[in-house]
Amino acid sequence: MSAAHSQGLQITAVNSGRPWPLGASLSGEHRVNFSVVAPEATRIELLLFEHGDASEAAATVDLDHDHRSGDHWHVEVSGPGIGLGTCYGYRVFGPLQAGGHGFNPSKLLLDPCARALAGWSSYNRALAVGAIPNTANALKGVVTERDRFDFASAPRPRHSWQRTVIYELHVGGFTQGPGSPVAASRQGTLLGLIDTIPYLKELGITTIELLPVMAFDPQDAPAGRHNHWGYSPLSWMAPHPDYLIGDDPLQARTQVRELVRAAHQAGLEVLLDVVYNHTTEGSQAGPTLSWRGFADRLYYQQNSRGDYLDVSGCGNTIAANRPLVRRLILESLRCWAVELGIDGFRFDLGVALSRGEDLAPLDDPPLFEAMEADPELADLKLISEPWDCGGLYRLADFPARRVAPWNGRWRDDVRRFWKGDDKSCWALGQRIAGSPDLFHATTTRSGSCITFLTAHDGFTLADLVSYNQKHNLANGEDNRDGDNHNNSWNHGIEGPSSDHAISSLRNRQLRNLLATLLLSPGVPMLLMGDEVRRSQGGNNNSWCQNNPLGWMHWQPDPGDLDLHTFVQRLLILRQQLAPLLNPDHPCPHWHGVELDQPDWAAWSHCLAWSLNGPQRQPLLWCGMNAFHRAMHFDLPPSPSGWLRVIDTGLPPGEDLPAEPSPWEPPGTPLESRSLMLLVAPGVLAP
């Protein structure tokens, strides 16, 4: 029975049901158990629909005290037409909270545990506010299977942190654009992403990280715009309908599994960017779609007056410290990891999940404790932003042992050095050494720390070297949105330039930045399209740009292809050097333009470092010159000589050749704003 049209629905029996599992689950032929959490509700109605766009329910079941176990309301319904594909929703009755928000029985509610959605084409966010019934324009849940992913035929790749290279991409944006390798009918979809796997494999990454693919609300945006990135969750269980092919919700989970299976068979891990810190319901004046209508006081952090507390910047903050909320988030993680095969998660504003009552920071947040103790989640990669919009920033002391934090300090300090800022040389040295000033002796944490130059939120790499200021007018917010502190530099003129000197310097800086990323300890992350100089025209917050501005650059010119080749070779080099680029290896030996004489002064723009083997013989040497003039660097003696692997002062193709060339002089000149890497023979053996 398809959720798009399930004629003949008829209830023949209603039983009390059971409180677990949450959501809608098959309990026999033509029999489904429904369970939701609503601690302060006084009455609940379960509505069953013939199809997702039905304006009226085909049947309504009243739940009374016989259908309640503590905070859980449950019922088992059976009859012809009931089973896989049945569409359903709830009306929940109860008292209003202080401030006049909370229960609103005029609204049809989406089950927070629904694993698929229906009614997408008729959904209207605006009608979820106020007292007018919205049944005809509300989302419905869909009864689905809960089968486990077939790991036997497509096991997890399980790349070690040391070997991992992450590529962050947007499913809709990466599969679209002129020249895309994805067939027109599959562009913008999860299945279309399968067609890009050969490109990703050829590039050399190990892991793809997808911007939100849990169902989000495109209508959660200013008038005339729509939410493209997806940081406005409608559901923590259901795949986003716009990323699917066809209109049968029962195919949603199948298509996610097909993508994960294809990625696993190609040796690629799949991570999801997940948003548990807030929902699309916004502030207390926002729409009643799901969580708010079931348990407003439970899910959202509020003060005694009922005002929402907000450290997400989106109007509300999820109370992840509470047991029932924690269980729902864990259920979501298991849904995606165990049932759909996902290999890990990146938590948006993840440190917000470590806050307790009144938003107090917790050193032992119960959600992360439960996550790390769950055997079903034990083999996943867990990543988090260590900050939230309330000013909490816990990088070195992120309150979860297995979570790898994004190192925003690494991004900022590396940008500042290559930009030529004063007081940046010492900071760069700390980042190259694995950030010992931040992590101290916690080598496990620093080894799994995520290092990155760019991410979806901010300038692309090409724009980082082409713009001094953000250019976000296309977003319709008078250029107020987006970060104002980008540590970017346009190198002489704002935006595109035909000046050869400017374009040549920009291209050299791209290589300097990328080489620094992939020669540093930690887990490197690349942003989609940075390898082919993808630009957003200086827009550093393209969250509402579902157009070429937010799409992949699939028609590279010769200069773009030169950088692509550089990145490919750099990623091969990264894997060859991976054993050396970890916190367990001895700290780099520091030099300046003279051996053993690092210059940490505020005005210094030059740094060199070497790594030595067990007998103190040098294995590699790297020189970095961010000064505006060429500088001569002394080299440590290597008994077997040196091989020049990288020299960004050379023309494209020669800057990182397929085969390194011998390098004999006792010293070397480094072009202004360039990087050179020398290695001893034998170090790069596969």
Residue 593 DSSP one-character state? S
> Given the DSSP bridges, would you call strands 43-49 and 140-142 parallel, antiparallel or unpaired?
unpaired
Q: Choose among 420, 384, 418: nearest CA to 401.
A: 384
Give me the count of residues in the chain: 686
3-state SS string for 455-500: CCCCCCHHHHCCCCCCCCHHHCCCCCCCCCCCCCCCCCCCCCCCCH
Residue 147 DSSP one-character state? P
Distances 443 to 39, 100, 368, 583 between C-alpha atoms, Å? 44, 50, 20, 6
| Cα 553 from Cα 567, distance rounded (Å) | 16
Q: Is 413 considered catalytic here?
A: no
Contact residues for 430 (Cβ-Cβ < 8 A; gap 6+): 413, 436, 437, 438
Catalytic residue among 348, 413, 463, 562: 348
Strand-pair partners of 33:
25, 76
- 546: helix, coil or strand? coil
Q: Choose among 597, 646, 587, 612: nearest CA to 434.
A: 587
| Cα 339 from Cα 256, distance rounded (Å) | 10
Distances 33 to 48, 73, 76, 78 between C-alpha atoms, Å? 13, 11, 4, 9
CB atoms within 10 A of CB 423: 13
Distance of CA 403 to the CA centre of its chain: 14
333, 341 Cβ separation under 8 angstroms = no
One-letter amino acid of 20? W
Instruction: Identify the burial level of 147 via C-beta atoms within 10 angstroms of its C-beta, where 0-12 means exposed, 13-18 middle and 19 or more buried.
Output: exposed
Handedness of CA 223, 227, 231, 234 (dihedral sign): positive
Catalytic residue among 273, 310, 385, 531: 385
Question: What does the block give as tokens for 500?
Answer: 């050869």
Distances 608 to 118, 416, 491, 517 between C-alpha atoms, Å? 59, 17, 24, 15
The DSSP line for 305-362 is T-PBP-SSSSS--B-TTSHHHHHHHHHHHHIIIIIS---EEEETTGGGGGB-GGG-B-
Task: Give the start-end residues of each E strand in 492-591.
Answer: 523-527, 589-591
Residue 2 DSSP one-character state? B
23, 71 Cβ separation under 8 angstroms = no
Rounded (5°) CA angle 365-367-370: 110
Gyration radius from the chain CA atoms: 27
Distance of CA 443 to the CA centre of its chain: 24
Q: Is 348 considered catalytic here?
A: yes
| Cα 237 from Cα 324, distance rounded (Å) | 16
Phi first, then psi: what are they for 74, rounded to 5°?
-150, 155
Phi first, then psi: what are they for 233, rounded to 5°?
-65, 135
- 134: helix, coil or strand? coil
290, 140 Cβ separation under 8 angstroms = no
The residues assigned a catalytic role are 348, 385
